Amino acid sequence: MISIKDLVVNYGGIEAVKGISFDVPQGSIVTLIGANGAGKSTTLKAISGLVRPKSGSISFLDEDITNKDPVAIVAKGITMVPEGRKIFADLTVLENLKIGAYLRKDKLDEDIEWVYSIFPRLKERHWQLGGTLSGGEQQMLAVGRALMSKPKLMMMDEPSLGLAPLIVKDIFNVIKRINENGVTVLLIEQNANMALHISDTGYVLETGVITLSGPGEELLENAAVKEAYLGK
Amino acid sequence: MKSNSSNKKMGLSTILTIASLIGIVVLLYMIDQHGFLGSYWTRVLRLSGVYAISALSMNLVNGFTGQFSLGHAGFMAIGAYVTSLLIIPTPNKAIQYYVTPVLDFVGKMHAPFWLALILGGLLAAIAAFFIGFPVLRLKGDYLAIATLGFSEIIRIFITNLIPITNGPMGLKNIPASANIWWTTGICTLTVVFMLRLMDTSYGRAIKAIRDDETAAEAMGISLFRHKMMAFMMGAFFAGVSGGLIASVVGTINPGFFRFTLAYEILLIVVLGGLGSITGSVVGAFVLTISREWLRFLDNGFSILGIIKVPPIAGMRMLFFSVLLMIVILYSRRGLFGSNEFTWAGLFAFPGKWKNKAANLFDSAKQKAGRKK
């Protein structure tokens, strides 16, 4: 669905991504794991157009989107759940969801109900300001907001960041459920265990290069991965 | 069942809104036809309405879009000059430009008041478009300084374009077309426009930009386009309010549109609450009325006959400094924060205060208990 070729991105004066290539097939969950500063977030930012790549190409559904601006990329059907959730604190939950569908011109009621069916908690709190939600609820809202654009590809930047283990489990279950609904997912995680369990393919990113790749279950058994990310 | 009860509530608040609107119209009629308030206080009310429009337009940019702009005085100046030049009777213009003769085209142009206001607003919006291109790429303090600079540039242009603007001598005998119906009417229209705007996807988008630019961009919101639209709409209403102010005051000169004017309006916006339409309107009326009412402070007064304060010009401004400090100390987000007036909120208000007072009382009692 999306394929990245030899992507090089400079970010803040350093070469954060040094020529990586990977594919996300339609209908799959793909995870990039790696430590802080490995270039995971920069890769997502480059795909969503928030950062311009230095060289390399990104193509989505056989169309080159390398230097497109963020608005055009969202319009193509790629949305991002940003790191640290970044919900709109002074807007109500419902307004947050509507903002997610900003580029759509059709009726939203059905999709709002769909998001509410995935996250019943959001329905209970639809009138509350985003900033008054708990961390887990904010993450739900961030995911719900991204879903409102009816994405073909949803990219998630560390959805488990700063959440209690039980809630992390919920979030990953939801990611699986969304994927079963036909949304392709590109996931970035430090919580390698959880992420690899649900993903079809995993890539290990280290200081800007891909050092390992393979099916999620296989990477979980890999000795190097175990040592570096699973604490063994 | 639930929808039924909320319908009933809706009905009640609609009735209350219509009733208070009728009340306002009757009041305006009394003021206008029967001199109910006297010409002095009527003028103060007219000014309050105009300041409310300026504050709303500034709030659109500073409060709702979160772009700290101080260029307001410049846009008001454009609106004021365009409107004045269009409504001053042509023979009168020739008399006013006695040093440098007026440009032929400017001397001859004339338009009805409503058209003059719209044209003033449009020209201010066009100016905002050109200023916005370089300026809106800036953020925070830099944006504030740059807009302030452009506002001063506009004023200096006006001072020096003598054949058009009559330079530092300003314009006089501007017809007082802006009676209380005009000012209150346009103020109401602006409020309705803002309320409707905030309920559209555009309104949500600018609030999203205020909350988090990166996230807004990731949702597919074009930052520059939305900031520009807000900036231009703000300038339009600022221009209209400038035109109204010219007509209420009767004379204008470049000195009137110094940056202090922008600060006065900023004071209204901050006092009322950044991001609150109600706050801007209430703030404008409270500040404008109290600025007049407090004039007695300038004439010297005595406190309980013991401390005698001699007449000092500008003494009343001290009051506003203190007021601003009190508001900032006790409600940092202004009188209304980013909330709006609702009838339900009004009825809940006394209860809320009772609770607050009760809490204070309880905690005081607890403290006293602990001391024992």
In this predicted model, what pLDDT tens digit does every residue of B283-294 receive, in sequence order? Answer: 999 999 988 888
Report the SS3 class of residue B276.
Answer: coil
> What does the pLDDT read at residue B1?
37
Residue A114 · residue A101 · CB < 8 Å: no
Task: Return d(Cα A174, Cα A169) in angstroms, integer.
Answer: 9
> Shortest CB distance from B222 goes to which of A71, A99, A145?
A71
> Where are chain B's structural domains?
43-272
- Rounded average pLDDT over A128-139: 91
CA A84 – CA A54 distance, rounded (Å): 26
Checking if the pLDDT of B107 tops 90, the result is no
For residue B78, the distance in angstroms to the closest alpha carbon of chain A comes to: 34
pLDDT at B9 > cutoff 60: no
- Find the helix or strand (DSSP H, E) in which B308 lies: strand B307-309
- Chain A CB within 8 Å of residue B212 CB: yes
Whether residue B2 is predicted with pLDDT greater than 60 in this model: the reply is: no
Question: What is the secondary structure of A196-212 as a DSSP string?
Answer: HHH-SEEEEEETTEEEE
Q: What's the whole-number mean pLDDT along residues B334-358? A: 75
> How far apart are the two ends of chain A, measured CA to CA in Å?
34
- Percent of chain B topping pLDDT 70: 91
pLDDT tier at B371, thresholds 50, 70, 90: low
B-interface mutation test, from A50, A95, A99, A156, most B Cβ less than 10 A away: A99
Q: Which residue of B has its CA nearest to A155?
A: B218
Q: Do B205 and A99 touch (CB under 8 A)?
A: yes
Residues facing residue A205 across a β-bridge: A210
With a cut of 60, say whether residue B330 has pLDDT above it: yes
Shortest Cα distance, chain A CAs vs residue B246, angstroms: 37
A91·B222 Cβ contact <8 A? no
- Does residue A50 contact residue A11 with C-beta atoms inside 8 Å? no
**pLDDT of the residue at B104:** 84
B3 by DSSP, 3-state: which? helix
pLDDT at A155 over 60: yes
**Amino acid in the structure at residue A35:** A
pLDDT of residue B106: 85
Nearest CA in chain A to B207: A91
Which residues of B, range 321-360, sit inside 8 Å of A by Cβ?
A: 338
Distances (CA, A) of A175 to A28, A29, A166, B125: 11, 9, 15, 46
Beta strands in chain A (DSSP E): 2-11, 14-24, 29-33, 55-60, 63-64, 78-81, 153-157, 184-189, 201-206, 209-215
- Cβ within 8 Å, pair B211-A80: no
Residue with tokens 């944006």: B143
Q: How far is A227 from chain B (nearest CA, A)?
A: 35
pLDDT of amino acid B366: 66
What confidence category does residue A138 fall into, taking pLDDT thresholds of 50, 70 and 90? very high
- Comparing CB atoms, the residue among A82, A88, A102 nearest residue B220 is A102
Task: For residue B221, list chain A residues with Cβ-Cβ distance below 8 A.
Answer: 71, 99, 102
CB contact under 8 A, B220 and A74: yes
Which tens digit of pLDDT belongs to each residue from A76-125? 999 999 888 899 999 999 999 999 999 888 888 899 999 999 999 999 99
Contact A74 B218 (CB under 8 A): yes
The letter for the amino acid at B142 is Y
What integer is the mean pLDDT of B351-369?
Answer: 66
Q: Do A82 and B338 touch (CB under 8 A)?
A: no
Interface test with A, best of B197, B207, B219 (most A CBs within 10 A): B219
Cα three-residue angle B197-B205-B285, rounded to 5 degrees? 45
- Predicted TM-score (pTM) of the model is 0.86
Interface of A with B (CB under 8 A): 48, 50, 70-71, 74-75, 79-80, 82, 86-91, 95, 98-100, 102-103, 130, 145, 149
Evaluate whether B243 touches B83 at the Cβ level (below 8 Å): yes
CA distance A232 to chain B (A): 37
Q: How many CA atoms lie within 13 A of B126 on its CB side?
A: 9
Q: What is the pLDDT of residue B370?
A: 61
Chain A residues whose CB is inside 8 A of the B201 CB are 98-99, 102
Q: In the prediction, which pLDDT does B135 show?
A: 94
Cα B263 to Cα B60: distance, rounded to the nearest angstrom? 16
In this complex, the residue of B214, B219, B222 whose CB is nearest that of residue A99 is: B219
Q: Which residues of B touch A123 (CB under 8 A)?
A: none
pLDDT at A223: 82
Cα of B94 to nearest chain A Cα, Å: 54
Higher pLDDT, B18 or B9: B18
Determine the pLDDT at residue B325. Answer: 85
Q: Give the H or E element holding residue B301.
A: strand B301-303
CA B71 to chain centre: 13
> Taking CB atoms and an 8 Å limit, are B219 and A82 in contact across chains?
no
Q: Does B110 contact A at CB distance below 8 Å?
A: no
- What is the per-residue pLDDT for B361? 65
* β-bridge mates for residue A123, sequence order: none
Cβ of B221 and A99 within 8 Å?
yes
Q: Which residues, 6+ apart, have CB-to-CB distance to A107 below 8 Å?
A: none
Tens digits of per-residue pLDDT, A177-224? Answer: 999 989 999 999 888 888 888 999 999 988 888 988 889 888 888 888
DSSP-based three-state secondary structure for A167? helix
- Both tokens of B299, joined, read 């004439």
Asked whether the CA dihedral A151, A154, A155, A157 is positive or negative, the reply is: positive
**Contact B219/A at CB under 8 A:** yes
* B275: closest chain A residue by CA: A90
Nearest neighbour of B220 by CB, restricted to A75, A86, A89: A75
Task: Write the pLDDT tens digit of every residue in A40-62.
Answer: 889 999 999 988 999 999 999 98
pLDDT of residue B314: 76
* B5 close contact with A: CB closer than 8 A: no
Read off φ and ψ for residue A171, nearest 5 degrees. Answer: -60, -45
Q: Is the dihedral of CA B134, B136, B140, B141 positive or negative?
A: positive
Centroid of chain to Cα B262: 10
Of B204, B202, B254, the closest CA to residue B228 belongs to B202
Alpha helical stretches, state H, B161-310: 162-165, 180-198, 201-211, 213-218, 223-249, 259-272, 277-293
